[in-house]
Amino acid sequence: MPEDIIQQDKARTPPIRLGRLHYAWIVAATGSIAMFCGLGLGRFAFGMLLPSMSASLGLNYTQSGILGFTNLIGYLVAVLLSPLILPRFGTRITGTASLLLIAVSMLAMAFTTSFPLLCALYVLTGIGSGGVVLPMMSVMSHWFFPSHRGLALGLVMAGPGFGIILSGFVVPKLLPISGLLSWQTGWLIFALINIVVAWITFTLIRNHPDDIRLTPFGRVPTLPVKNKKKLERSNVKLLVHLGVIFAIYGATYMVYVTFIVTSMVGSYQLSEATAGGIWAWIGLLSVFSGMLFGWISDHIGRRLGLALAFFFLAIAYLLVGLTDWTLGLYLSIILFGLVVWSVPVIMAACAGDYFGPAAAASALAALTFAFSGGQALGSVAAGYLAEITGDFSISYMVSGIAAFIAIGLALLLRSQQSA
């Protein structure tokens, strides 16, 4: 019997309902815990550790920037390799191995003060982060039908928010232990957490509902289930369209998260302690942003969900770009925190909806590459404009305009085909 027909027959099998917890939710919760380590600790905690690292190692701004950039290099390497590795090893093995790679690199960073070696090790951390993010996001296309896929991806993206909150509370309280500096102690603690989470991931994650004789969770789609294992040429235009939207998000998001604290201290004359406290709210609000907009996109569609997300992002950017009103800053922080993970969640859902579960990982890898390119462009352009103008107001205004352009591009998308 042809494989497509087999998949359609499976789709007609009623999934287990919420009255009895479907294992898909266990997979989603485990993915969230893995993302807590892969992004929350592997990537976002770096900003909290950087001041003490720079002080003890005597790093200048250029070296600090290089160290952060090495993580992005590693992440992009993982993005490029994922379409080759995932089909062979699956999410369970790939995610577990990536978490262990992060743990090993962090352990090594905890016992070195050599800048070149730190850079090399942080490349490995970046590879591990990418090796967690793409598998955990793409596997949701196997475990959930489109009716609940956005909500599930939102749950997965709650993990990094908890990582931001944990690092915000733990890092400032770190003390030197047994000759290790405070930032070295931080890497050691994060490494041990990654080892525990790697064990949890290997124990609970399953690559596909078929592995335990289940069907995906959610309402069975009325259209036939796509099962193409590779991206079709006819979908390249659509992939580029989505990639441009994701690149705009990457550029504007990077401007905001990189420079908003600097703006609070410089333009709004807030103390560093106050600015740090306000920034912590983004981590707290971000825990809910993915689930909120994932649920919204499940109900009104990915196209309108993206447009709504970019509308709120545009307002958040313009509130700090057009005025130095303190209340406007607070409103901007709240809006950004509530929307920050919306676009990645909806994009991951689009990868499954438009291209099918089997090709979701390849599509998401291409989209993530565009997103990363936008991140690099955004931070460089904002820094250049700040050198010319003396602050980041122009960068925020340009980000707001770009977000409105993204709204138009999102509305031009065709309605997704359920997969």
Residue-level length of the chain? 419
Domain topology for 233-411:
Growth Hormone; Chain: A; (1.20.1250)
Q: Tell me which residue has tokens 């998001």.
A: 253
Tell which residue, 375, 404, 395, has the closest CA to residue 263.
395
pLDDT of residue 255: 85
Q: Residue 12 burial by CB count (10 A; 0-12/13-18/19+): exposed, middle or buried?
A: exposed
Does 18-212 match 233-411 in CATH topology? yes
The CATH topology of domain 18-212 is Growth Hormone; Chain: A; (1.20.1250)
The reported pLDDT for the residue numbered 61 is: 63
Report how far residue 141's alpha carbon sits from residue 138's, in angstroms, rounded to the nearest whole number. Answer: 6
Q: Are 132 and 95 in contact (CB under 8 A)?
A: yes
Residue 131, pLDDT score: 94
Name residues whose C-beta falls within 8 Å of residue 161's C-beta, 6 or more positions apart in sequence.
40, 283, 284, 285, 286, 287, 289, 341
Strand partners, 177: 180
pLDDT score of 234: 61
Tens of pLDDT along the chain (419 residues) come to 344 433 443 444 444 444 478 899 999 999 999 999 998 898 878 877 877 888 888 877 677 778 877 888 898 899 888 888 988 999 999 999 999 999 999 999 999 888 999 999 999 999 999 999 989 988 998 899 888 888 999 999 889 888 878 877 777 777 777 778 888 999 999 999 999 999 999 999 999 998 888 888 888 766 555 555 555 666 788 999 999 999 999 999 888 887 787 788 778 888 766 776 777 788 888 888 988 999 999 899 999 999 999 999 999 999 998 888 889 999 999 999 999 999 999 998 898 888 887 777 788 888 988 988 888 788 778 777 877 887 788 989 999 999 999 999 999 997 765 44
Domain definitions of the chain by residue range:
18-212, 233-411
- Position 416 scores a pLDDT of 60
pLDDT in tens, 61-107: 677 778 877 888 898 899 888 888 988 999 999 999 999 999 999 99
Question: What is the value of pTM for the model shown?
Answer: 0.78
